[in-house]
Every structure is written in C-alpha cells, then in structure tokens.
Amino acid sequence: MSPTTIFAPASTPANAIAGLSMLVVGMTGVIFVAVAGLLIYAIVAFRRSPDQAIEPAQVYGSNQVELAWTVVPMLIVVVLFLATVRVITRVQEAGRPADALQVVAVGHQFWWEYRYPGSGVVTANELHVPVSEAGHPAATVITLLSADTDHSFWVPRLAGKTDLIPNRVNSTWIEPAEEGVYLGQCAQYCGTQHAKMLLRVYVETREAFERWIGGQRRRAAVDATVAEGGRVFQHTSCVNCHTIAGTAANGRFGPDLTHVMSRDTIAAGIAPNTRDNLRRWIRNPDDIKPGSRMPAMNLNEQELDAVTAYLASLR
Ligand SMILES: [Cu+2]
C-alpha cells in the first residue's frame, strides 16, 4: 500500500473524505455498469440481420422513458450534493474540536517551518502531534502561512489538501487515531525543488509528545569540544539564515537548527540526518537538492569538519 493513499485514512477529516470518495465511486460505478450494459445489449440484440434490406421502424418520444432519465439523475445529483455538503461542514470550522493543539506551518521554498505558539517551540519539516485516544481525544489545528509563494499541505492519510498562500491565513486540522509517521508532499508547484519538499507527521502517544516538546524547549547545550565549529557558524553568514536559540544566530530564512539532531531527516525529508549527509549538505547543498535556497559557503575541509561537529552536538 502506498504511504500516501487516501484509501487508508487514519484521522477524522481523512475518514470523512475517504467515505465520500467510496460513495461517489460506488454510485458512479453502478451507473457506468448499467449504461455500458444497456449499450452492449442494444448493440448485440438489435444488430442488423443479413436479410434486412430497409431501416426498421423508428420509435419517437416516450414520456415514461424521458421522465425516468430526467428524474433519476436529478435524485443522484441531490444525494451526492447532500453527502458532499455534510463532509465539507464536518471538515471545515464546524467540525473542529475547540481544545485542539495549535500549530503554525509556514511554507518556504523548499521546506516547512513549524511553530507551536503554546510552548514557543520552533522546528522544521517534521511535525510532531499527539495521537487521539478513546478517552482522550487530541486534535491539532494547523494554521497555514507562506513565506514566499503558493504551497500546499497534503498528508493524504490525515486530511485533505489545503494551500498555503502568501498574505492569506488558511488552516486545516487532523485528529489521528493511530501512532506512526505519515508522509506527504507539497502539492502545489512552488519552484525547482517542489518535488523535494516532503512532509513528515509524527503521531505519538501523549507522553512521547510531551517529552518531545520538553526536549525542544531546552536551550542548546554548550559543548566545549565543538567550540571551534560554533565560532565558524557565528562568523559565517549561517547566522543570517538560521536560528540557534541561546546564541546570536536568529535568522529565519532557513530551518531552526537549535535541535537539528532531534530530526530524522534534513532538507525536507530528502536525506537521512547523518553526520555525512550534514557535511555534504553544508559543503554544497545543490549536491542533495539542486536549486535549494541555501548557497554553498565555500568552507575549507577543516571548517567543514568543525561546523559539522558543532551541528551534530545540537540534540
Ligand atoms: Cu512547496
């Protein structure tokens, strides 16, 4: 099964959407079979016989038949319309749990910024949310903003697709019932590396989620053994684009690196977050993601080693 199928929903809005899709596919499937069946029957049963010289008598007008094929499709359309309206209201504002966790997602070329206003946590590309349990429902409302151009947030097993538009506030919500990592992808073409703008949503038990939030709120640990790398970072323009809480680095153009090692992947899900990949990325981001918005900084081998060691200490 594809990890991005809409037919294996694992969250409230996605369930409603999958149910509606099955209803539509079912009804249109029955119509298709009935129409195609009648057509084939007519072709076979009323085909021209070899000894037939002239056109057979034609039948014109039948109020019964005309009425049937006007009224039945109208009823079908009304049913589909009502079912769709029901799902839309459930997915939109009216269906949203009031006490949901609030997260702000900002789309950037070509990565995702996540801010948790309730706890001050800022992270990138890997969204963590609590799982919704029977006695303890937990929904997350995600406010969607864009820093540059149009993007679209789509994790098919959790919710429908919603765009992130500059100067506009959109939102979506999820209420996942199963733990796990859910995948998705930016669903609105946003530039050269649009295809490498992946979404990862980590649905965790409430305890694991609280532990994660706690870890993200801690200040960056000061590790004397990597001080050299810290200096390289502070004195290169890394600080203009990246934040490391507790240091002078407070740029917002690129991902927050305060706890970069707490993430499984770098560069929006494209590469596993290993030391080798980090070094490769800093040496030349285009190696991993051609056209990314981070320039190669032309560091020498020694500086590269030092800055990689420094980042690797940020857990
Ligand atoms: Cu995008």
191 alpha carbon – ligand 1 mean position (Å): 7
- 20 pLDDT more than 80: yes
235 alpha carbon – ligand 1 mean position (Å): 31
Q: Do 208 and 65 lie in a common domain?
A: yes
How far is residue 197's CA from residue 12's CA, in Å, rounded to a whole number? Answer: 25
Residue range 139-180, pLDDT digits in tens: 999 999 999 999 999 999 999 999 999 999 999 999 999 999
Q: Which of 159, 182, 217 is the last residue of a domain?
A: 217
146 alpha carbon – ligand 1 mean position (Å): 9
284 alpha carbon – ligand 1 mean position (Å): 21
262 alpha carbon – ligand 1 mean position (Å): 23
151 alpha carbon – ligand 1 mean position (Å): 4
Dig out the tokens for 194 from the structure.
């649009």
94 alpha carbon – ligand 1 mean position (Å): 28
Supply the DSSP string of 245-284, one letter for each residue. Answer: TTSS-B--SS---TTGGG-SEETTTTEE--HHHHHHHHH-
- 128 pLDDT more than 70: yes
**CATH code for the domain in which residue 195 is found:** 2.60.40.420
Please give the tally of structural domains in the chain: 2
Q: The pTM is what?
A: 0.90
> What does the pLDDT average to over 268-295?
96
Q: Which of 178, 193, 217 is the last residue of a domain?
A: 217
Domain extent for 23: 1-43+60-217
154 alpha carbon – ligand 1 mean position (Å): 11
